[in-house]
Amino acid sequence: MKNIALQRIKEMKSYNPPLSGRRGFSGILLDFNERTLPPPLKVQKAIQDFLTTNKLQVYPEYGGLEKKLAKYVGVNADQIMITNGSDQAIDIIFRTFTKTDDTVIIPTPSFAMFYQSAQIMGNKILTPLYKKADLSFPINEVLGMINKSVKLIVVCNPNNPTGTLVSINDIKKIAQKASNSIVLVDEAYFEFSGVSAVPLINKYPNIIVTRTLSKAFGLASLRVGYIVASNIYINEFLKIRGPYDVNMVALSAAFASLEDFKKIQNYVDEVMTKAKPMVEEFFNKNDVTYYSSSANFILFKPNNNQVGRLLKENGILLRPQDKTNIENTLRVSIGTVKQMKQFIEVYENVILSKPKYAFLDRDGTLIFEPQDTFQIDSIEKLRILDGVIKGLKELNNRGYELIMISNQNGIGTASFPKANFEIPQNKMLSIFKKNGITFKEIFICPHLPSENCNCRKPKTGLVEKFLIKNQINKDKSFVCGDRPTDKLFAKNIGVKFVYMQTNGNFYNALMKGGIIV
């Protein structure tokens, strides 16, 4: 089959947000900036009541909702047009005012639908960047780009995904300079920011505002948005929007939401005055880089690229971001205090908790040490001590990383050839591996005591780089060994010492030392 779609459509990529499996996710959805609680009961009842009217077969009517929205927004009813989500509102505005090769300005990064609508129309897109340092709006760059060829400028306020707020004064400057262009101000998060360009419309009719009931109102699955504009432009938009594009179930829910707005406001207040400051305080306390936001979400930069995966595995779903100037960031939606306490608890325990380590002597602690030669130089001499397999498995189960550290006099010399050490060593490790036991690191000092090296226990030369890189949890880590040098080594690295009698029972030593209780 020949693909006869427009070339520019064929060159586009579809907007595919990571939706798959979200509805079945058993944890907290903090990825799409939705309301994290169901809508008020009055809204749910309104939907049920509509379904019992037995009028699903009748086409929708919008007048009542438009009047209700106009009162909520503070404009005349003829300045409101409801849409199938604000996505449709954005699409209609681009289709009304732009054509192929028209220039539009979309400060970047921003909401994907702006770019999609512009690409569908074949617009030339200018993308001044939000400032990398603080993600502030590029007002000077935008003003510098405005000329007679620019047909439309997008101001996402607050911006998604950065959370950046654009001042009303800056919107005025744009509207004044672009007097022959449309200034599309998307206010999807108005209920959270409290900042709106609506009062500017009468003086600057080139300003058009889009909003949604998907966020604070919690009607994302029903798709209700609206446009606020001069009535002249509303009349033009009505020519593009279908007469029945918004369904009556959505209208019933929207009407009830506005009637029960106090419940909506209570949720917004909890998010913005309690939950969000709590998350910001947590980030500040733990040196997590984040960006100031005026919406119900925070963009932050984790210290490694595994944070999103680890949070998901522990019941918290966030949205990764990789657009220009926000590479390797995550966006967390802010929910209730209870939900954000759970987010903080998981982040603290899974992401920020320092790992705990068991630094284990080898000879006399894990394997039998002959008291005549003090060396295991053949497989025949190798014997795993009592309680070692059981004890190492228990340490793994309790979240300990295993470190083997041992002094081995003169490895590589004529008296102790390297192969004589490695053969029983590898055999020992293979036995451990068969039992599901692996060591994160193995540190061996090969020097003789007379060489006065810096790595022989109780000195810390062997592990200095490891300790700096891994930032261990010293309160929960420990050293287990059978010699005074092991005890002094534990003191030198600042962790607990667990004594074990030479060639004794390893598991019993861990119990006596309070590691296993």
- Report, as an integer, the average pLDDT of 416-425: 94
Lowest model confidence (mean pLDDT) among 3-12, 33-42, 158-167, 505-514: 3-12
Across all residues in the chain, what is the average pLDDT?
Answer: 94
| CB crowding 305-322: b at 16 or more within 10 Å, else e | eebbeebeebebbbbebe
Same domain, 227 and 376: no
Same domain, 337 and 453: no
In order, the DSSP letters of 186-238 are: E-TTHHHH---SGGGTTT-TTEEEEEESSSTT--TTT--EEEE--HHHHHHHH
Residue type, 257: S
Alpha-carbon distance of 2 to 10, in angstroms, equals 12
- Report, as an integer, the average pLDDT of 332-359: 93
Strands 400-407 and 319-321, bridge-based pairing:
unpaired
- Report, as an integer, the average pLDDT of 325-332: 96
CATH classification of the domain holding 287: 3.90.1150.10
Same domain, 137 and 257: yes
Non-local (6+) Cβ contacts of 348 within 8 A are 282, 286
Look at residue 224 and tell me if it is in a domain: yes
Element (H, E) at 85: helix 85-97
Which domain range does residue 43 map to?
A: 33-262
H helix intervals, 404-460: 418-434
Q: Tokens 């939706």, residue?
A: 19
Q: Which residues pair with 81 in a beta bridge?
A: 227
Confidence of residue 471 (pLDDT cuts 50, 70, 90): confident
Look at residue 241 and tell me if it is in a domain: yes
Does residue 18 carry a pLDDT above 80?
Answer: no
In order, the DSSP letters of 250-316 are: HHHHHHHHHHTHHHHHHHHHHIIIIIHHHHHHHHHHTT-EE---SSSEEEEE-SSTTHHHHHHHTTE
Same domain, 325 and 390: no
Q: Are 227 and 234 in contact (CB under 8 A)?
A: yes
Same domain, 422 and 365: yes
pLDDT of amino acid 21: 73
pLDDT tens, position by position, 442-465: 999 999 999 999 999 999 999 999
Q: Are 169 and 177 in contact (CB under 8 A)?
A: no
- Report, as an integer, the average pLDDT of 105-123: 97
- Report, as an integer, the average pLDDT of 93-97: 98
Look at residue 25 and tell me if it is in a domain: no
Look at residue 23 and tell me if it is in a domain: no
Look at residue 1 and tell me if it is in a domain: no
Q: For residue 109, is the peptide bond before it cis, meaning its omega torsion is within 30 degrees of 0? A: yes
CATH classification of the domain holding 495: 3.40.50.1000
**Structural domain ending residue among the three candidates 331, 352, 373:** 352
Confidence of residue 85 (pLDDT cuts 50, 70, 90): very high
In order, the DSSP letters of 39-84 are: PPHHHHHHHHHHHTTT-TTSPP--HHHHHHHHHHHTS-GGGEEEES
pTM: 0.74
**Structural domain ending residue among the three candidates 337, 352, 367:** 352
Same domain, 336 and 387: no
Q: Are 76 and 70 in contact (CB under 8 A)?
A: yes
Same domain, 280 and 406: no
pLDDT of amino acid 171: 98
pLDDT of amino acid 198: 98
**Residues counted in the chain:** 517
Share of the chain above pLDDT 90, in %: 85
Same domain, 121 and 56: yes
Alpha-carbon distance of 74 to 110, in angstroms, equals 27
Look at residue 163 and tell me if it is in a domain: yes
When divided into structural domains, the chain yields a total of: 3
pLDDT tens, position by position, 155-193: 999 999 999 999 999 999 999 999 999 999 999 999 999
Widest pairwise Cα distance in the chain: 101
Look at residue 21 and tell me if it is in a domain: no
Q: Tokens 């003829």, residue?
A: 78
DSSP label of 416? B
Look at residue 455 and tell me if it is in a domain: yes
Confidence of residue 355 (pLDDT cuts 50, 70, 90): confident
Same domain, 363 and 338: no
Same domain, 247 and 174: yes
Confidence of residue 19 (pLDDT cuts 50, 70, 90): low
Same domain, 346 and 363: no
**Structural domain ending residue among the three candidates 336, 352, 368:** 352
Structure tokens at 226: 């609206």
DSSP label of 108? B
pLDDT of amino acid 399: 84
Same domain, 290 and 220: no
Alpha-carbon distance of 498 to 513, in angstroms, equals 5
Alpha-carbon distance of 355 to 476, in angstroms, equals 9
Confidence of residue 350 (pLDDT cuts 50, 70, 90): confident
How many H helices and E strands in the chain?
Answer: 19, 18
Q: Are 276 and 334 in contact (CB under 8 A)?
A: yes
Instruction: Tell me how many degrees the CA angle 503-507-509 measures, rounded to the nearest 5.
Output: 65
Structure tokens at 168: 């009303």
Q: What are phi and psi of 242, to 5 degrees?
A: -65, 155
Cβ-based neighbour number of residue 381 at 10 Å = 15
CATH classification of the domain holding 157: 3.40.640.10
